[in-house]
Structure 1
């Protein structure tokens, strides 16, 4: 049986570089994003993340290198009509209602989604008649999303998309984003919220103007951040150090009950625990703490010469 062909790339950047005088903001980035992917772009302040995204959107020209979006120049009118952007601040006329604003913006596009459909997708149906200046922060954020999708874009860029949303609204928002991606749309978003980045198919980390990591959230956590296993056991230090997948171990002397406190840092908890139990070792007070994306991000961005991590 033939494997399905990979999705076509919709964004391709090669040797992308941008300087401001003698300051190098982006230093030779290669990046490919395929149709239907949800991609998070992370990076510390000043890392080159914003400049990179501006070049991908056609808002800033690279000093050197190439960018193709949907097979064309991102500055072309055809490409811009097929890219939607949700920014943190929506400069909308205060006198218009939510529905009027969505309808107005829709007229700017040759093909656009019906206003009732967009209102539903952005969870704004009950606020359709409100004027823009009557909206709360979270409602304005959802309006920004509505204006970004009304043109039925092939690529949707989101800037800190759930910054003003509560937990329930955030979960609902991501269900809408996923539904949009399932239609073959590509989602690219920037965020400082690691919980939000966990919603992505891929996480691209940019630092010092370079892509230093490009992998799924799960792969990234497994590759650069360890899962922690704490327990008390009668296994010997040699046996503990010899368990599969153990990166490091803190092993204390046994207590009166013959059990020693142990902290293992492992790439994955299943294999070492299975091996330990197969040796008939006593294990009590077991606690497994999964690696976090925050830990992985901090580890990556604290290493100035960190090689690129991919999976």
Structure 2
């Protein structure tokens, strides 16, 4: 989708106040078609409030909220939106088959039952009662209900909590398929490797303010450090004293080092331990960038990105 196209949803200078607490402080956020935006922030940063405004569950005290250029509270707007929240409020006595049929009936052109089953991995669950499912199985059902109406805008709030590796990979595949159809997706997750794997765009908020925004690569570029991992007999306490090393520790047999520049540290490792093996050097990941951004040095508002 062209960046000149209007966004699927937008917060513009949005403010939300709860008594003396300003949960959102003039935040700007655009969700674009065919793009997954990962909304990251510490607990209490304002993520849930931002989603509540975009869903029309709350009203902004100042600024504006638009979904497809309209109020998010309109029925016509809501029929174009899918939602998977942490608190689902689903009838536990109903079978999965019944829940899917009921939810599909709300939409004019729902996704086929077969597609919902395949995308969410529900094959063996259709005749089970929702309340009898495990937490991970319930998340798969919630995902099916969120996508069954062919949403053009999808909200995924911690979607893979409780899922095993196979189910998580299956959901990631389904999410990528939805992006390919032009769906705009907002993801919140505490699994930063998930955001790194899926996000086209990252927005970091803290204390209700947007403090960083850009691609995953943009976020990672804000942290110069490198991670070095090897099998070595060298003391972690000794390596920690080397110039340029900010952290060194043992993880079982592995020596793990964080340094601003990898080359001099690697050179010294090889010089001091001829038996060193399994050397790995990695650049900072999104988790490293997130910690650095929210630590304070980078905690400042940024202009709205396209």
Q: What TM-score, normalized to structure 1?
A: 0.79
Q: Give the equivalent residue in structure 1 for 2:185.
A: 187
Paired with 2:113 and 2:229, the residues of 1 have a C-alpha distance of 54
Q: Give the equivalent residue in structure 2 for 1:249.
A: 244
Decide which moves more: 93-102 or 15-24: 93-102
Q: Tell me the CA shift for residue 91 of structure 1.
A: 2.8
Q: For 1:296, which of 254, 270, 289 is the aligned residue?
A: 289
Q: Give the equivalent residue in structure 2 for 1:219.
A: 218
Q: Tell me the CA shift for residue 290 of structure 1.
A: 2.3
1:152 and 2:150 aligned: yes
Q: Give the equivalent residue in structure 1 for 2:238.
A: none
Unaligned runs of 5+ in 2: 231-242, 247-256
Question: Is the 8 Å Cα contact of residues 16 and 66 (structure 1) preserved in structure 2?
Answer: yes
The DSSP-based 3-state class of the residue aligned with 1:224 is: coil
Distance 1:6 1:83, change over 3 A: same
Distance 1:53 1:126, change over 3 A: same
Question: Is the 8 Å Cα contact of residues 225 and 296 (structure 1) preserved in structure 2?
Answer: no
Question: Is the 8 Å Cα contact of residues 85 and 158 (structure 1) preserved in structure 2?
Answer: yes
Q: Give the equivalent residue in structure 1 for 2:44.
A: 46
Paired with 1:134 and 1:140, the residues of 2 have a C-alpha distance of 9
Paired with 1:196 and 1:292, the residues of 2 have a C-alpha distance of 12
Number of residue pairs aligned between Structure 1 and Structure 2: 274
Q: Tell me the CA shift for residue 133 of structure 1.
A: 2.5
1:35-85 CA distance string (max 9 Å, x none): 011111111112112111111111111110011111111111111111110
Q: Give the equivalent residue in structure 1 for 2:240.
A: none
Q: What TM-score, normalized to structure 2?
A: 0.80
Question: Is the 8 Å Cα contact of residues 17 and 62 (structure 1) preserved in structure 2?
Answer: yes
Question: Is the 8 Å Cα contact of residues 104 and 111 (structure 2) preserved in structure 1?
Answer: yes
Unaligned runs of 5+ in 1: 232-247, 252-261
Paired with 1:17 and 1:197, the residues of 2 have a C-alpha distance of 26
Larger Rg: 1
Q: Give the equivalent residue in structure 2 for 1:244.
A: none
Q: For 2:129, which of 117, 128, 131 is the aligned residue?
A: 131
